[in-house]
Amino acid sequence: MSEPIRRRLIEVLASGEHTSTNLAEVISAEFGVSRGAMQNHLRILRENGWVDFRQEESSRFYHLEELVWRSMDADVKHLKNLWKQRIGTYEANDDAPWLKPPRRARERTGARKGLRGRRRLDT
């Protein structure tokens, strides 16, 4: 799904069933690729179980597979759980005092700029 054309095909198909002609028009207008290139992306999505089609006369109507939605829901839930349990964050581990954000160092009072670390000569 790292391929922008495939992501866009999934976005368009999320709105419902579309003919390959409609998909080709959208993809070619947005990405400037040929119908054959778009068909290749649809083939890859079909082979991986993301989309399917039904034939009606001379048109193919593409749609997302329902299993995709269930799989995506499960993946998102898993990622949300990992996010909530992330290690090393104060919000997720507020009972762990060693993970509290460090306090800011107190600013020195009375220190004059340029005299730090040098002896002050009083005459």
Q: Write down the CATH number for the domain with range 4-65.
A: 1.10.10.10
**Confidence at residue 11, expressed as pLDDT on a 0 to 100 scale:** 92
Q: Where are the domains of the chain?
A: 4-65, 67-94
pLDDT of residue 54: 95
Is the pTM higher than 0.95? The answer reads no
Q: d(Cα 86, Cα 83) in Å, to the nearest integer?
A: 5
- Distance CA(62)–CA(51), nearest Å, equals 7
pLDDT at 30: 95
Low-confidence ranges of the chain (pLDDT < 70): 1, 88-123
Provide the H-helix boundaries in the chain. Answer: 4-14, 20-31, 35-47, 66-84
CA distance 63 to 23: 11
